[in-house]
């Protein structure tokens, strides 16, 4: 049903094929297990690394694929298309590895990137705290200098990959109040690291099988050399600079969700009969799907333009905020309208639309709530 994006190429379509096979053959059969245990198997990260699907935009010199953001976009699309809610690739590749690539010193890059690209390590970023949300000024996790180490203490919540991560970027306060006191500290962590505790895996409406947790730090020791980029107080700026790409990544998930929802629903309504006709013959069904298909087409135009401009390094904060807010809103609207067309079946877990509805909902909240995006857009007017 869905044409290939404007910015794709034959090489990217081969990556797509590889990713599709990986998800459908290797990941999907394990999703029930991931859901039951609350997190994905780490072996699947390593398998993705073997296949070259991790950190595709990281240069080959650091063990990556030497590709671009487009490669990661393809991975995202295929994950959604396959219906996998569990693997935390978006955070691992497009966020964590990308922070390291963008800000880390050469030594840090050489040390950390190969292990992220191979899947030996799973990455996570500990930003949100119970009392903060979009309000980064309120960060209260403290990193106190003690010789060659910081001692980090505080609590974080809503941390994706929190249960399985081995490498953690911690947003902490190394200085005084305000933005200038914030640094990003990189920590290698395991279940036995002193001062580090993984909290509960939070039970969520959707995204089942993907581990979102609380994390607690009680004088966790992080070497001073692990400050990302080597300099204190740059954390806020570093966070800000990465946001457009994170938002675009979120919009891409939403885009793929829309495509999948429409495809599933066209198929279902053509095959399911009521009142002696396929559901698709009812005018209401036709119009609902025509509207959803139009939204899909319009979103695709816009997303393709955003991806192209990001590939050229030109995606600005405003446009990224528009993409994040608008496409995720549309994804939820489309998921809701499509679920309705399934009738009762849309509510049953055996129908993927029920998962799509639940999984999509969080997109309007994470990576900056859509209300925050609107404020960013308003500032540009």
Catalytic residue positions, numbered: 246
Q: Which stretch binds a second copy (CB under 8 A): 90-98, 141-149, 228-236, 285-293?
A: 285-293
- Check binding of 252 to a second copy (CB under 8 A): no
Nearest to 242 by CA among 364, 123, 97: 97
Q: What is the DSSP letter of 227?
A: B
Q: Which stretch binds a second copy (CB under 8 A): 161-169, 188-196, 219-227, 295-303?
A: 295-303
Query: Per DSSP, what are the bridge partners of residue 196?
Result: 217
Q: DSSP letters along 228-282, please?
A: GGG-TT-HHHHHHHHHHHHHHHHHHHHHHHHHHHHHHHHHHHHH-EETTEEGGGS
Q: What's CA 78's distance to the chain center, in Å?
A: 13
Of 59, 66, 83, 133, the one binding other proteins (CB under 8 A) is 133
Residue 89 half-sphere exposure toward CB, CA atoms < 13 A = 33
- Check binding of 319 to a second copy (CB under 8 A): yes
Of 290, 316, 348, 365, the one binding a second copy (CB under 8 A) is 290
- Check binding of 80 to a second copy (CB under 8 A): no
- Minimum separation from the CB atom of position 292 to other proteins (A): 15
Query: Per DSSP, what are the bridge partners of residue 146?
Result: 149
Q: What's CA 195's distance to the chain center, in Å?
A: 27
Q: Which is nearer to a second copy, 139 or 295 (CB)?
A: 295
Q: DSSP letters along 151-197, please?
A: EEEEEEEEEETTTT-SEEEEEEESSSSSGGGEEEEEEE--TT-TTEE
- Minimum separation from the CB atom of position 373 to other proteins (A): 12
Q: Which stretch binds other proteins (CB under 8 A): 6-14, 56-64, 100-108, 334-342?
A: 334-342
Instruction: Kindly determine how many residues on this chain lie close enough to bind other proteins according to the rule CB under 8 A.
Output: 43
Rounded Cα distance, 300 and 117, in Å: 29
- Minimum separation from the CB atom of position 60 to a second copy (A): 33
282 binds, among a second copy, other proteins, none (CB under 5 to 8 A by kind): other proteins
Q: Which is nearer to other proteins, 43 or 138 (CB)?
A: 138
Nearest to 215 by CA among 166, 169, 163: 163
Nearest to 54 by CA among 125, 138, 139, 118: 118
298 binds, among other proteins, a second copy, none (CB under 5 to 8 A by kind): a second copy
Q: How far, CA to CA in Å, does 331 sit from each of 56, 293, 371?
A: 26, 12, 16
Q: Which residue has the tokens 């010789």?
A: 147
- Minimum separation from the CB atom of position 286 to a second copy (A): 4
Within 144-183, the residues that bind a second copy by CB under 8 A are none
Q: Which is nearer to other proteins, 191 or 349 (CB)?
A: 349
- Minimum separation from the CB atom of position 274 to other proteins (A): 5
Per-residue x/- track, 101-120, a second copy (CB under 8 A): --------------------
Q: Which is nearer to a second copy, 1 or 348 (CB)?
A: 1
Of 206, 223, 233, 278, the one binding other proteins (CB under 8 A) is 206
- Check binding of 361 to other proteins (CB under 8 A): yes
Whether the CB-CB separation of 149 and 191 falls below 8 Å is answered with no
- Minimum separation from the CB atom of position 269 to other proteins (A): 12
Whether the CB-CB separation of 88 and 210 falls below 8 Å is answered with yes
Nearest to 95 by CA among 247, 311, 312: 247
Rounded Cα distance, 57 and 341, in Å: 39
Whether the CB-CB separation of 214 and 162 falls below 8 Å is answered with yes
Of 291, 316, 343, 365, the one binding a second copy (CB under 8 A) is 291
Of 93, 266, 307, 353, the one binding a second copy (CB under 8 A) is 266
Whether the CB-CB separation of 328 and 368 falls below 8 Å is answered with no
- Binding residues (CB under 8 A) for a second copy: these are 266, 280, 286-287, 289-291, 293-295, 297-299, 301-302, 304-305, 319, 322, 325-326, 371, 373-378, 380-381
Name the residues that contact other proteins, by CB under 8 A.
128, 133-135, 137, 157-158, 202-206, 273-276, 282-284, 287, 332, 336, 339-340, 343-344, 346-350, 354, 357-358, 361-362, 364-366, 369-371, 374
């Amino acid at each position: 049903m869905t044409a290939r994006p404007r910015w794709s190429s034959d090489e990217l379509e081969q990556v797509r094929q590889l990713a599709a096979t990986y998800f459908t053959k290797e990941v999907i059969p394990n999703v029930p297990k991931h859901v039951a245990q609350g997190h994905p198997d780490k072996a699947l990260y390593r398998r993705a690394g073997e296949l070259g699907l991790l950190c595709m935009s990281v240069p080959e010199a650091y063990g990556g694929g030497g590709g671009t953001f487009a490669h990661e976009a393809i991975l995202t699309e295929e994950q959604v298309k396959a219906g996998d809610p569990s693997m935390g690739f978006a955070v691992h590749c497009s966020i964590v590895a990308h922070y390291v690539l963008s800000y880390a010193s050469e030594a840090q890059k050489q040390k950390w990137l190969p292990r992220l690209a191979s899947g030996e390590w799973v990455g996570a970023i500990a930003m949100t705290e119970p009392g903060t949300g979009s309000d980064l000024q309120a960060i209260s996790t403290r990193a106190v200098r003690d010789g060659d180490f910081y001692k980090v203490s505080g609590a974080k919540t809503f941390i994706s990959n929190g249960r399985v991560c081995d490498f953690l970027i911690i947003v902490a306060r190394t200085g005084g109040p305000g933005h200038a006191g914030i640094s990003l500290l990189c920590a290698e962590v395991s279940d036995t690291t002193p001062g580090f505790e993984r909290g509960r895996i939070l039970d969520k409406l959707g995204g089942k099988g993907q581990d979102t947790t609380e994390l607690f730090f009680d004088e966790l020791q992080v070497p001073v050399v692990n400050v990302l980029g080597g300099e204190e107080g740059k954390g806020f700026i570093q966070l800000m600079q990465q946001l457009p790409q994170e938002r675009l990544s979120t919009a891409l998930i939403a885009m793929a969700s829309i495509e999948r929802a429409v495809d599933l629903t066209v198929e279902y309504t053509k095959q399911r009969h009521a009142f002696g006709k396929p559901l698709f013959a009812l005018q209401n069904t036709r119009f609902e799907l025509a509207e959803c298909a139009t939204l899909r087409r319009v979103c695709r135009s816009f997303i393709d333009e955003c991806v192209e401009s990001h590939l050229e390094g030109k995606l600005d904060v405003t446009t990224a905020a528009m993409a994040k807010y608008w496409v995720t809103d549309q994804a939820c609207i489309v998921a809701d309208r499509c679920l309705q067309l399934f009738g009762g079946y849309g509510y049953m877990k055996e129908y993927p639309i029920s998962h799509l509805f639940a999984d999509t909902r969080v997109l309007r909240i994470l990576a900056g709530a859509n209300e925050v995006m609107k404020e960013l857009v308003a500032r540009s007017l």
